[in-house]
Chains A and B, each alone.
Chain A
Amino acid sequence: MFIAQSVLHSFIILIIIEITFYSWEIGDHLTKFRYRLLVLALPIFTFPFYQMITPDRGSMYFRENIAIFNINRWLAIKIWEIIPVHFLFFALLFMTSLIFFLQEILPIMREKIPAPDFQTITSHKDINAIIGGLCEKLNTPKPSVQIIDEVYPILFTAGIKNHTILLSRGLLDKLTDDELESALAHEIVHIGKGSNIKTQIIYILRMLMFYNPVSLIEFRRLVQDDEFICDNITVSVTKKPDALTSALKVFYSHPKEDKASKISVAKDIIESHSHNLLLKERILKIEEKGIGDNPKFGWGKYILIIIIILKINYMVV
């Protein structure tokens, strides 16, 4: 009952959130991020909360007299008197769980490669100076920097409390000074916003709902929103949107075609396509908006939406 209702609840929250974005013309990603978080977090708690306040909620009387939607009615149906709908429903959840396992758990389990031999470059004057200036502007503690001896462009931030920016030699060779400043500024914004810890919390929520297809989609959208937010702040600090867009273009990925299996080539193509699509969208947004401003977040509206969500989902069993 929990599984079916949590999927249903997250789907309804998603619809209500999309209605909110459309009606209130919400476009900024910080607001969207906060609303989308509801899709991931609320369904974990709604079912036990509702059962606590109404223990009778699962009964036939509640389902037939109070509920506006009763999923059991659909799950009891047999298509052509052969295939039960509940079988299809649980097959969908199983597929989602499988995707989660293959995409997110298996790579973690296989990641037993020893840590690469990083070359510490605390003496790299240019990068240290850029980071120092950016941290001052953004009022963020200065992270350490490490360079990976790798030709592919790599840039990410590791750590939750003490952060380290990791970048590849290949990236340093490809970026101009302005592009490097923008790329580093983006990482420092991530540090300032605590993106790593936030992503980990979101990931835990996502893990708790590993069977939920709505959570699968929304988790990715939340991570994307975080990137858009950081891009926006980066541009507002550097005032160089063109530098950030050209730095992003360096990260376009091209699938390797020397793989033995056709499946792994296809997987690479799909992953590269999705990665490039996100980059394209980010570039497009920066080009369209330039330096965007974040409007004030309406907490009153947010609470109203949560109340509406709780009220509607209460009657969805």
Chain B
Amino acid sequence: MRSRIIRQLKMLFSFALLIILLVAVLELLNWMPSIIDSESLRKYGSIELVKRKLHIEKIYMPAYLPEGLNLKWPPSEIYAQKKPFIMILMHFQHRDSADIGLTVYQVDSRTKYQPEPRIKIIRIKNKSRVSIKDREGTLVTAVCENDTPCNKVSWKEGDFLLTVTGKDSERDLIRIAGSMISES
């Protein structure tokens, strides 16, 4: 009886070990493409890392975050890729919760691809033209998940299409968008 239990435990141990090994191999196989092709979509820990790894000349970052929005700096999540086209997506979390309060992304304007930020627009209420430091942009007033009012502003800057989505006021969002453009 005892030897049977020991044998069963040995089998269970061997099974568990091999399953762990399988998961480890899958993780390894998931990591390997980043060595082969370092410029495809990845999650990054900081903007400096994106600059260093992907050698993207211009990364547009908000220089101003209104204090009242209570947003944490630096961005809590950064996804970036250089191939097949440049795309950088950043999420800014609230200081006192895990909620995402602001999303900023820049995408090569020649592509039609639009990333799906964590702030998801459910219903568009209004679309209007706005000026962001003399650039013509589009302001979208909308309703996001959980019936939260939100806004999105997008405009073309050089080779990129920049988009800022936030759960803050239209005025604040335009100010954040303006802070992303350097005057030089």
Contact = CB atoms under 8 A, between A and B. Distances in A.
Contacts of A308: 19
B85 interface: no
Contacts of B33: 73-74, 76-77
B95 interface: no
A212 to B, nearest CB: 19
Give the interface SS of chain A, mostly helix, strand, loop or mixed. Answer: helix
Interface residues of A, number: 26
A125 B103 CA distance: 85
A64 B42 contact: yes
Contacts of A25: 11
A172 interface: no
B11 A60 contact: no
Interface residues of B, number: 26
B115 A69 contact: no
B26 interface: yes
Nearest to A78: B37
Interface stretch (A16-24, A44-52, A110-118): A16-24
Interface string B14-57: 11001100110011011001101100111100000000000000
B67 interface: no
A284 interface: no
A316 interface: yes
A59 B23 contact: no
Given A73-B40, A312-B23, A60 B15 contact: no
Interface string A1-41: 00000000000100110011011110000000000000000
Interface of A: 12, 15-16, 19-20, 22-25, 59-61, 64-65, 67-70, 73-74, 76-78, 308, 312, 316
The 3 A-B residue pairs whose C-beta atoms are closest, nearest first, are: A23-B15, A73-B33, A69-B26
14 contacts: A16-B19, A19-B22, A20-B15, A25-B11, A59-B116, A60-B115, A64-B42, A64-B43, A64-B79, A69-B27, A69-B29, A76-B83, A78-B37, A312-B23
